[in-house]
């Protein structure tokens, strides 16, 4: 039974994602999911699993890794790119690292690799500062805005 605020009085969660007011997500999960999305063909998301309550946890998940769902309760998948703001730095590409080494003829593949590893570490540190404060979850009834609560 609903009390008019999409929260069940009995404390039991339900299938309606409109009950969600906030999602908690570890910053490491967002960074890892974002990097995996940028580097691979796999769709890595932050998944919110039902039953839905006012405060929920979104955890890293490779989309398609779950089985079939029965009934109305379906998880919500949030693309990690939606959890960082528009000013977040882009993921460094290997070719960009070569460009940074310039026209030097004496660089080695080992130096290139080391420089790229450093660029990725700088990106990981920088992107942590660009988490959004809220996000619209895609629900069967349309977008539903919730607060984002970073952990760690």
Give the per-residue pLDDT at 1: 36
Instruction: Reply yes or no on whether the pLDDT at 2 is more than 70.
Output: no
Structure tokens given for 106 = 């004496």
C-alpha triplet 59, 61, 133: angle, nearest 5°: 40
Q: Which two tokens stand for residue 85?
A: 């703001």
- Which of the given ranges, 12-21, 66-75, 77-86, has the highest pLDDT on average? 77-86
**Domain ranges, ordered by start, for the chain:** 1-83+131-152, 85-130
The rounded mean pLDDT for the chain is: 86
pLDDT for position 73:
74
pLDDT of residue 123: 97
Task: Answer whether residue 124 shows pLDDT above 50.
Answer: yes
Pairing of strands 76-78, 44-48: antiparallel
- Judged by average pLDDT, the poorest of 23-32, 77-86, 102-111, 143-152 is 102-111
pLDDT at 6 over 60: no
Tracing tokens 């691979």 back to the chain, one arrives at 40
Say whether pTM exceeds 0.85: no
Give DSSP secondary structure letters for the chain.
-B-SSS-BTTS--BS-GGG--EEEEEHHHHHHHHHHHHHSSS-EEEEEPSSB-SEEE-EEEETT-S----SS---EEE-GGGGB-TTSPPPPPHHHHHHHHTT-SS--HHHHHHHHHHHHHHHHHHHGGGB-SEEEEEETTEEEEEEEEEE-
| Cα radius of gyration (the chain) | 19
């Amino acid at each position: 039974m609903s009390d008019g605020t999409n929260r069940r009085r009995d404390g039991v969660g339900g299938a309606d994602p409109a009950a969600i007011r906030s999602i908690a997500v570890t910053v490491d999960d967002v960074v890892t999911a974002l990097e995996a999305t940028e580097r691979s063909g796999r769709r890595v998301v932050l998944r919110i699993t039902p039953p839905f309550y006012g405060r929920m946890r979104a955890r890293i998940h490779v989309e398609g890794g779950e089985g079939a769902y029965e009934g109305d309760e379906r998880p919500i998948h949030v693309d990690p790119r939606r959890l960082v703001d528009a000013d977040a730095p882009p993921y460094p590409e290997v070719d960009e690292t070569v460009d940074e080494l310039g026209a030097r003829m004496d660089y080695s593949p080992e130096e290139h690799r080391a420089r790229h590893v450093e660029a990725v570490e700088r990106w990981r540190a920088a992107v942590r500062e660009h988490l959004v404060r809220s996000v619209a979850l895609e629900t069967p009834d349309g977008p539903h805005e919730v607060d984002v609560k970073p952990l760690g």
